[in-house]
Amino acid sequence: MATEKFRPAAGCYFQVLEKDCAGTAITQADVQSIKYTVYELGYGGSRTPVTGHQNVSCSVASCVLNTPATDPETSQTYNVRVPISAVVNKPFPNVGSTYEIELILTDTNGEPHAEYKQGICDTQ
């Protein structure tokens, strides 16, 4: 799991290349639902959900691509791109804190699949 740098006044995108068991990139037809939660990580492994960013449902049609794309800034290939918005509630409110984004994709058989991204909230 890669560690990233989050900004206290901004959101981000969670991008990942999600594949099926055969190694083929998934499409919208493979996904029933998507939800994310942002956690502030604490001592002893505690995970506290951030207000406004707990079990947020995302549109499969707007977050899952049928053909993988490449981010021009990072050169990362992805087929799932979920916006973590700061419009209503900041997802990373405390400078110096470590956060984890948990993304749950549920396939058409009802099986959940989890992806994670961790980062530190910093202003530099």
Quote the mean pLDDT of the chain: 94
Looking at residue 20, the DSSP 8-state letter turns out to be -
- The predicted pLDDT at position 2 comes to 54
Overall average pLDDT of the 34-58 stretch: 96
Neighbouring residues of 52: CB distance < 8 A, sequence distance ≥ 6 = 88, 89, 91
Domain annotation for the chain: domains and CATH numbers = 3-17+29-58+82-121 (2.60.40)
Overall average pLDDT of the 64-74 stretch: 94
Return the percentage of the chain with pLDDT > 90, whole number.
91
Q: Measure the CA–CA gap between 51 and 38, rounded to whole angstroms.
A: 9
Q: Measure the CA–CA gap between 26 and 12, rounded to whole angstroms.
A: 22
Whole-model pTM: value is 0.93
- Cβ atoms of 101 and 40 within 8 Å: the answer is no
